[in-house]
Amino acid sequence: MTDHPAGMARRTDPRTFAVKAATMLTQLVVPVAIGAVTIFDKGDFGDVAAFYLPLVLLVIAANFAVAYLRWSRLTYEVRESDIRVESGLLSRTARAIPYERIQDVSLEQKFLPRLFGLTEVKFETGAGGGDDLKLAYLSEDEGERLRKVVRYRRDGGVEPDGQAGAADHDEEAAEVLFAMTPGRVLKFGLFEFSLAVVAVIGGAAQQLDFLLPFDLWDLDAWQERIAGPGRWLAGLGVAAQIIGAAVALVFLAVLGLATGLVRTALREWNFRLERGEKGLRRRRGLITRTDVVMPLHRVQALRLGTGFVRRLFGWHSLKVVSLASDSGSANHDAAPFAQMDEIAPIVATTGFALPDSGLPWGRRSARASFDAAMMELALFTMAAVPAYVFSPYPLIALLPLAAGLVAAIRQYYLYRVDRHALGAQFLYSRHGWLSPKTTIGSRIRLQSVEIRQGPLARRRGYAALHLGLAGGTFEIAAMDVADARRWRAEILESIAGTDFSRLVGPVGDPEVSGP
Amino acid sequence: MNWLAVLRNYNGMEEPDDLTPLDPAYQSMLRLQFALVALVLLAGATVAEYFIPGYTGAVWAPVIVFALWLLIRMPMRRYAARGYTLEGERLRVVRGILFRSDTVVPFGRVQHIDVNEGPLERVFHLATVTVHTAGTHNASVSLPGLKREDAMAMREEIRAAIRRDTQ
């Protein structure tokens, strides 16, 4: 770092150019290849090639030249109070981001840059809408250094010397909170069975059946195929059809399973969650490796989730709702697939708490559940009437009736399982039928409180409570109106104790003011 | 006692609290706003009346009844349904005729404050105050129908409270 004194404008890593060129070439090769196949198909290979080759080379050269100029005109500068990036070939733009406005610095390594030891540095400002500042690409060391510099300058601390020794020390100090072994990732993949892929492939097989050497849905063909070697199967017409259908189903199931496995492995490989100096640091990914830091003081709420099969085996996921960035990535996976005893220490690290046994859990309003069940039943019954009157099969009216019954049972079940509680510091809400989700919020980290009532709710004395949460939503769909008012009064009391600037200010953790 | 009134008061939002009503001019503004809507509707009804054969007034009559309701009843109800308080360093906004909503934003959570004056509002010397929070949901809460000076005063009050808290 001695050859770059701080405060000097610099360019991104020169190898960026190589990565961009490689990316561009791969993007160019495909259209050129397709073009070549269609053109050269007609014979006259030599003539056509001689005519088009200089043109293709010219296009490639022009692209290279532009890429080079772009690279040479993009400079960034680490200044006293901000980071400045100047870029542009014909129209120049200069952007300055004060350190105070940078929420997170994340590093992302896609496959090609990774081969070159490069990384993309993203400064998240919370502006949302993809307006964040990106620097692509810097060397891994430089990315790491920038991240440290930004963090230290923002927090008003002393800038580290930027020596490798300091970085190593930091690495050692990091405490691993959660990591996934390859075995765990594969197990996770099994539960990520992709129904969507099955549906899409099933549909595509019908649309694009010409791509397959055989017709997936042609049961007669299956019959022949299976019956081919053993003639005796032909006699079992129906059985062969069933076998054929079973084979197709197994094929789709394997496909769904494989998709889940591959997708999960690509995303979660070598998952590590560490507690660094400033917050949680998460690294994961097989081909594209991402490195995200979630500052602890920006954590707004936690979400515990599960799936309806995996909950039988005790698997849960933990997400962190963070103030930074847009809604798309505001929920960071902290532990995508873990047992509760692994999640508990992470929750403790974030300064939140899992619900303890002494909490005064409240139920969903019984009236709200009853009303919702009746409304849904009535809707489906109304759908059943025309089905009964107009359909040639009057019995088909039983279908919407059954659906209405299921909906009503679901409402009853929700009444049984949905819970909410207001603790001294935190508030909890559990909602869901097959895969219940629990949201853990902090009383002082809420922005606003709203009570909503429809005409029915007003007459029957229940309400929905919507809590303003930075980076997510937090609502309790139906509670008794008296409870809702009590919650609001108590939460407002907690909020009033702490100003927003003290909540998100990087200096010190906010004091939690219990009642 | 009227049974409807009994139902309406049953445990509903009608707490005996002293919400500050909006400026009476807001009612007039709403009336003007709805008058514009009614004009458009009447124009549509006239065209329909012209082209659809049959009794004269088959389209006009219901539209006129609706327009009258829009002009006379609706502004009153909307005006009556809305209110606010600024007590205890909190902005509370109540609104909605059928679907009631009652939102409280503590001053300590306000990120920035807008005061808007639309063209109609300017005719009546009214303004809308919008407070923005960091929340994703309900991120901004707006309170229309304030007298212009009141809106400015409210903005100053919230701003002063924020400045005091951050120091």
Q: Please tell me the distance from the alpha carbon of residue B152 to that of residue B146, in angstroms, as a whole number.
A: 9
Picking from B11, B90, B103, the nearest residue to A481 by CB comes out as B11
pLDDT band at A3 (very low <50, low <70, confident <90, very high): very low
Q: Which two tokens stand for residue B17?
A: 């609290």
pLDDT per residue over A21-51, tens digit each? Answer: 788 777 777 777 777 766 666 556 566 667 7
Is B19 in contact with B83 (CB distance < 8 Å)? yes
φ, ψ at B102 (rounded to 5°):
-135, 100
Q: Please tell me the distance from the alpha carbon of residue B83 to that of residue B21, in angstroms, as a whole number.
A: 5
pTM for the complete prediction?
A: 0.71
Residue of chain B nearest A128, judged by CA positions? B136
pLDDT at B3: 45
Across residues A426-432, what is the average pLDDT?
92
Q: Which two tokens stand for residue B101?
A: 């909503």
Q: Would the CB atoms of A488 and B166 count as touching at under 8 Å?
A: no
Picking from B11, B101, B108, the nearest residue to A496 by CB comes out as B108
pLDDT per residue over A347-391, tens digit each? Answer: 999 889 998 888 889 999 999 999 999 999 999 999 888 888 887
ipTM: 0.83
Sheet of A75-78, strand order: A10-11, A75-78, A82-87, A93-98
Picking from A461, A470, A496, the nearest residue to B136 by CB comes out as A470
Q: Please tell me the distance from the alpha carbon of residue B94 to that of residue B19, in angstroms, as a whole number.
A: 8
pLDDT at A484 over 50: yes
Task: Look up residue A510 and give its DSSP letter.
Answer: P
pLDDT at A196: 73
Integer angstrom CA distances of residue A388 from A207, A227, A394, A407 = 34, 43, 5, 20
Burial B7-26 (b: 16+ CB within 10 A, else e): eeeeebbeeeeeeeebbebb
Closest approach of B11 to chain A, Cα-based (Å) = 5
Residue of chain B nearest A448, judged by CA positions? B105
Amino acid at residue number B95: R
pLDDT at A248 over 70: yes
- Tally A–B CB contacts below 8 A: 111
Q: Would the CB atoms of A470 and B165 count as touching at under 8 Å?
A: no
- Chain B residues whose C-beta sits inside 8 Å of any chain A C-beta: 7-8, 10-13, 15, 88-90, 98-106, 108-111, 133-139, 141, 162, 165-166
Q: Would the CB atoms of A499 and B88 count as touching at under 8 Å?
A: no
Closest approach of A62 to chain B, Cα-based (Å) = 45
Query: Contacts of residue B8 in chain A, CB cutoff 8 Å?
Result: 458-459
**Best CA proximity match to B89, nearest among A8, A461, A497:** A497
Is A170 in contact with A145 (CB distance < 8 Å)? no
Cα three-residue angle B98-B102-B108, rounded to 5 degrees: 160
pLDDT per residue over B43-102, tens digit each? Answer: 999 888 888 777 777 888 889 999 999 999 999 999 999 999 988 889 999 999 999 999
